[in-house]
């Protein structure tokens, strides 16, 4: 657990919303990091002050009875008009609620899928970094990598040779993202590995490259092009990684 991850989870920790494993990891980090421990103490003090009884007003018990009486009186005056108009309003409300529910479910499904993809891409890249062999087919010849991927997957993207720009092709491999087998092109910039995950896109034919997202110390950039979805993962700095992405996108 590092400082960035701790800052991301510290609010949930103070509010008691984390599971036991995460809580223990944060407690270990707080014992070793004075800055994060101080941040925790500040949040805890704020939480305690907001829970003070003096901040809350307790109304008289008779207020509830007066409110109920007023509501009953208003309801009686409007009952006849409501009986004539409730059905169209109820139908409209039901339709609106249905549309909203479908929209929220779709957004939640998209976010859940994206979270799974991010997790799998980061895990696959991290596994490749520590592996003795980063690739299944080891060659800098793109004319060997592309047929190998096509034979294994039934599809393959363009495999550009970017050695002249400082990005050496090491080969390709297969990986698992969101419960499906995908292809990975592996490049190297100095001592940094760059994994290009790809699979057939279910979105539009082309999208712009996203802003870099950081997960567990790795930079992630994604886009779609030519019917393929691409996710690039590396610990290379954002400027050079975006340069690599632009080169990939231009070599069509």
129 has pLDDT over 80: yes
The pLDDT value recorded for residue 58 is 66
Beta bridge partners of 197: 184, 231
The pLDDT value recorded for residue 92 is 66
Quote the pTM value. Answer: 0.58
* Banded pLDDT at 190 (limits 50, 70, 90): very high
Q: Reduce the DSSP state of residue 115 to 3 states and report it.
A: helix
The pLDDT value recorded for residue 45 is 76
What's the rounded Cα separation, in Å, for the pair 95 and 197? 41
Walk me through the domains of the chain, giving residue ranges and CATH numbers: 3-53 (no CATH), 115-250 (3.30.200.100)
Token representation of residue 210 = 């996203």
pLDDT per residue as tens digits for the range 73-92:
877 777 756 666 556 666 66
Burial per residue of 162-177, b for 16 or more beta-carbon CB atoms within 10 angstroms, e otherwise: beeeebbbbbbbbbeb
What's the rounded Cα separation, in Å, for the pair 148 and 135? 12
- Give the mean pLDDT of 201-208: 79
Q: Which region among 25-39, 99-113, 122-136, 203-217 has the lowest average model confidence (pLDDT)?
A: 99-113
Instruction: Name the more confident of 164 and 94.
Output: 164
94 has pLDDT over 90: no
Instruction: Name the more confident of 105 and 175.
Output: 175
List alpha helices for the chain, DSSP H: 3-14, 20-32, 34-50, 61-130, 142-153, 238-250
């Amino acid at each position: 657990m590092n400082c960035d991850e701790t800052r991301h989870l510290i609010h949930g920790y103070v509010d008691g919303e984390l599971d036991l494993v995460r809580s223990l990891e944060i407690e270990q980090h707080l014992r070793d990091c004075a800055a994060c421990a101080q941040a925790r103490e500040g949040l805890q003090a704020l939480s305690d002050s907001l829970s003070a009884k003096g901040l809350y007003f307790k109304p008289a018990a008779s207020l509830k009875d007066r409110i109920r009486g007023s509501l009953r009186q208003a309801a009686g005056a409007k009952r006849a008009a409501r009986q004539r108009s409730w059905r169209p309003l109820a139908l409209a409300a039901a339709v609106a609620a249905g549309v909203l529910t479908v929209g929220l479910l779709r957004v939640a499904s998209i976010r859940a899928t994206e979270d799974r993809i991010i997790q799998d891409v980061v895990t696959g890249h991290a596994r490749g970094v520590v592996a003795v062999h980063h690739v299944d087919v080891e060659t800098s010849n793109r004319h060997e990598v592309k047929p190998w991927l096509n034979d294994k997957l039934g599809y393959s993207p363009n495999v550009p040779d970017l050695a002249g720009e400082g990005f050496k092709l090491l080969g390709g491999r297969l990986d698992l993202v969101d419960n499906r087998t995908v292809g990975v092109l592996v490049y190297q910039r100095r001592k940094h590995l760059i994994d290009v995950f790809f699979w057939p896109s279910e979105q539009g034919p082309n999208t712009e490259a996203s802003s870099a997202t950081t997960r567990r110390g790795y930079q992630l950039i994604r886009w779609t092009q030519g019917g393929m979805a691409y996710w690039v993962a590396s610990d290379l700095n954002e400027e050079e990684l975006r340069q690599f992405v632009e080169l990939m996108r231009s070599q069509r």
